[in-house]
Amino acid sequence: MAGMWAWSMPAQAAVAPPGSKDFNRLHAPDGRHIELDATTEFDRVPSPARVPFARFIETFDVSHGMWSPQRGIPRRLYGAGVKVAHAVDDANIALEFATSVVLGHLDLLAPGTTPADFELVANEVHNGVRSVGWQQTYRGVPVLGGQVSARFKGEHLNMVASEALPNVTLSNAGPSLPSETLVERARRSLVSDYGDDVTVREGAGDLAILPVSGADGRISFHQVVEVVLDVPSPTTRWSVYVESSTGAVIGRRQVLMFGEAPVRLRVPVRGTYGERMDTPARRLAIQPSGGTVGYSSPQGFFTVEGGGETVNLYATGQKVRITNEAGAPATDTRFVSTSSLNVWDESTVEFEDAQLSTYAHASIVDDLAASLDPDLPWIHTELLQANVNIDDICNAFSDGDTINFFRADETCENTGRLADVVYHEYGHSLHRQSLIPGVGSFEGALSEGYADFLAATITSDPGMGRGFFYSSEALRELDPVGYEWHWPEDTGEVHDEGRIIGGTLWDLRTQLSIEYGVTEGRELTNALFYDATRRASDIPTMYPEILVSDDDDGDLSNGTPNICLINSVFGAHGLFALDASFELPSILPSNGEDVEISIALDNPYPDCPVSLEGTLRYRLRGSTEAPTEVAMQSSPEGLLGAFPSQPANTVLNYQLEVAFSNGSTSTYPLNQQDPWYEVYFGEVTPIYCTTFTGDAVSEWTMTGTGGTVGWNIGTPTGAGGDPNGGFDDNFAMGTNLEGSYTPGYSGVATSPEINISGYDAVRLQYRRWLGVEDGFYDDARILVDGVTTVWRNVSGSDPYSGLHHRDSEWRFHDVDLSDFISSGTVNVGFALSSDFGLEYEGWTVDDLCIVGVGDVGSLCGNGVVESGETCDDGNTIPGDGCDAFCQEEDGNDDGNDDSNDDSNDDSNDDGGTGGTGDSGYAEGPLDLEGRGCGCHATPTAPRGMLWSALLVFGAAVGRRRRRSP
């Protein structure tokens, strides 16, 4: 291919211009945000990745991972990794080993690709970390944003990363339209918003593949060209992506990101509202009378003849070039003396003062950047271009190369006179220029936080942008009193979202300064943040990249020197989370006693002691009242809480929120569409139960159309999001137990006809593992008699809601069927219908029971074998071959464990349907939990169900589910 195609680097600034939002993010022509990776999950392997991940960890020691649920790939995998001698020092050793690990595991890192789809773009060492990166292509055309990479430190390959786009297929492929046609289509797409003043800055570029995330989460791919257009008022610049074969405008990205930000020869310390300082005129252009132009030293000194001479001073220099958009450059002719300070002061003239202030503060931040990276050519060999006094107001921007500042008006200061703004805009350019190709990525919100923190670490003030409104008011507070910006609650517009990582880095600086002293703590933070942002691709990936930077032995499995402090700081902002586990039976007695729940902490970092607090919330199912909240108490196991027992035939909803002392929180269950667990109170009588073994295969009717694989009974394989095995054994019923359901499928699994007459209430109780798209697209239902819907997945209010139902564990589900008692019999059906888009794991059902509540009337003991009965001898006396519930007894079992029993030891009987000697109860009704059914016939010995959320590299699971390493 002819050269690599790169994203146009957005111009960044402090805030968005009036009337605009979500800058630096890709939008559809209708304004919708269409970027990828709305969510990122820690240590939770997507089902399609489980098999290739298992192969990967055979050779790479993984401690933790960050995953993209949308792409189904690991964004970061890190730990002890693999020991590789001399890889940091020897580029060939590193490349050979990284190639075998990264390109040898593309089934995990980039499904649907081959090694030929990746072009090596980086093999570099920075601060002791060697990064090797490849850019993704498709049929020789670059895939925008697609990349895979590896990190070496010490003697270890300790991190592998992927931003690859799996399974690329073009929506429209064909010959390209003429360039002038594509350019005009791009221009016309902006004219309706901005008028005819739209001008073309750069014509149609090379072909590229643009991935687009739809509102439903599905990714489509388009072969596009980029056209860059300028809008004079309001000052904006757009990259418009036009499909090459159709001319359709697929998306556009605003690449001048603006900001209202305060900025500082004699120049403002922060802004013109406050004090001024005399700062060295570093490398300033100076022309002695009759001589040639030279430059002052980095400390602001220059040589004069004798004790002084007349010179011309220019507001530009050796490393920073100032262009005055309002006219001639600022100059000053004066006699300079070796015995005086020789201060150039233009504080009363806006346009001249803006030039001096921009120059002074750009030199300050440029010197800091040079100390952070002694090797970056952009800092050390290129001239920084700063354009000042642009004919616009209340803003400033960076386009990745230049920094640009607007004039003052009655509401806001000239941004070239504001120190924070100069530092901020420089930060955007530094971020763009320092990214390692094929390794890091430019992301708008991350860059906003980067630029805010850069300003804050220079001023030692978390209040960024003071002076913009002619006052000490901060434009953005990185450390607001009583609150921490938190992921994902505070995501949204990029400047606001950037406060999350900006605030995190500020807190890291604060804590490291306490740990090591102010100077060393500040310098360590600056080094960690700069190094990590070279390799990070967005805000969440900053956490693992900070670990790589902090590590001292190449082995991330044993932590880093500051792991406890880093976890605490990032956890407080939602960028790191610990795990907790708890257990509770799903059917409980209604005996008036409080029900206890205990929570245990799972801390993978034993050297970092962490305490936890918990809140238990509960309410009656269906209630619209606010839930009752109970603070959990410390216990030897972790936390202990209780909610009161409920009347019989009551369903309670509950949640658990766990707050860790490192600042992180987790709320269970992890399902945005069904965020409440259920628990049933009361004694029930089984009418029909199945664990989907034996007769269930013939009893259940399964029909379907439109798909290659539909309903079946067997062993779930874990593929496509399914569980690994059934709830309590290997068997379950589901829609395609070997992966996701197929597009355009419609099918139903229907139970046999079941007699439910004679009970006060009847309920369906079962275990569910359901993954289905938002009900706007795909429909999952429970039907009675094939007609009446008694439950269905939630449908969002519009096509863009994306409210998908994703169980991550076996969930107990209770459905009231009492309205159908009068009909005498029912059958229950599980139905699924899908559109032709996004597919998940579908239904997986196990341990299903239809149970009765109250008096069964004359059904059992009437001498007629009816539904749910295996015998009826005309009485309800056990010990005569037919027990009190009309179930055949096991041989000659008389209910006592004695010498007259059958050959089975009833004390261990796990499958009997007979007398009171069966395991699970004593002298009471049949315990179906002992048989593996999802319901409890008696509360005396309930079998608990364990939920453990966010297990290391595995979703939360029910008991007996195999854990990933």
Q: Please report which confidence band the pLDDT of residue 304 belongs to, taking 50, 70 and 90 as the band edges.
A: low
For residue 8, is pLDDT > 70? Answer: no
CB-side neighbour CA atoms (13 Å) of 742: 13
Q: Please report which confidence band the pLDDT of residue 468 belongs to, taking 50, 70 and 90 as the band edges.
A: very high
pLDDT at position 31, please? 66
For residue 436, is pLDDT > 90? Answer: yes
pLDDT at position 403, please? 94
User: What's the mean per-residue pLDDT of the chain?
Assistant: 82
pLDDT at position 607, please? 86
For residue 422, is pLDDT > 50? Answer: yes
Comparing 673 with 395, the larger pLDDT belongs to 395
Structure tokens at 42: 């820690």
pLDDT in tens, 791-801: 999 887 655 45
According to the 3-state scheme, what is the secondary structure of 819-836? HHHHHCEECEEEEEECCC
Identity at 126, one-letter amino acid code: H
pLDDT in tens, 27-47: 777 666 677 766 777 877 887
For residue 102, is pLDDT > 60? Answer: yes
For residue 929, is pLDDT > 50? Answer: no
pLDDT at position 783, please? 97
Query: Mean pLDDT lowest for which of 626-640, 680-694, 927-941?
Result: 927-941
**pTM of the shown model:** 0.66
pLDDT in tens, 874-892: 777 778 888 777 788 875 4
For residue 640, is pLDDT > 50? Answer: yes
Which distant-in-sequence residues (6+ apart) come within 8 Å of 951 by Cβ? Answer: 43, 44, 579, 602, 957, 963, 964
Which distant-in-sequence residues (6+ apart) come within 8 Å of 60 by Cβ? Answer: 77, 79, 81, 82, 101, 157, 160
For residue 260, is pLDDT > 80? Answer: no
Determine phi and psi for 179, rounding to 5 degrees.
-60, -40
* Distance separating alpha carbons of residues 843 and 717, to the nearest angstrom: 13
Query: Mean pLDDT lowest for which of 136-140, 713-717, 760-764, 954-958?
Result: 954-958
pLDDT at position 891, please? 55
Comparing 463 with 808, the larger pLDDT belongs to 463
Percent of the chain with pLDDT over 70: 84
Task: Specify which residues 224 forms β-bridges with.
Answer: 243
pLDDT in tens, 533-589: 999 999 999 999 999 999 999 999 999 999 999 998 998 898 987 777 777 878 888
pLDDT at position 302, please? 73
Query: Mean pLDDT lowest for which of 539-553, 657-671, 814-828, 897-911?
Result: 897-911
3-class state of residue 55 by DSSP: helix
Question: 808 near 948, Cβ under 8 Å?
Answer: no
DSSP secondary structure, 773-815, as one string: --TTT-EEEEEETTTEEEEE----SSTT----EE--S-EEEEE
pLDDT in tens, 349-380: 999 999 999 999 999 999 999 999 988 989 88
Task: Specify which residues 34 forms β-bridges with.
Answer: none
For residue 962, is pLDDT > 70? Answer: no
pLDDT at position 930, please? 30
For residue 309, is pLDDT > 60? Answer: yes
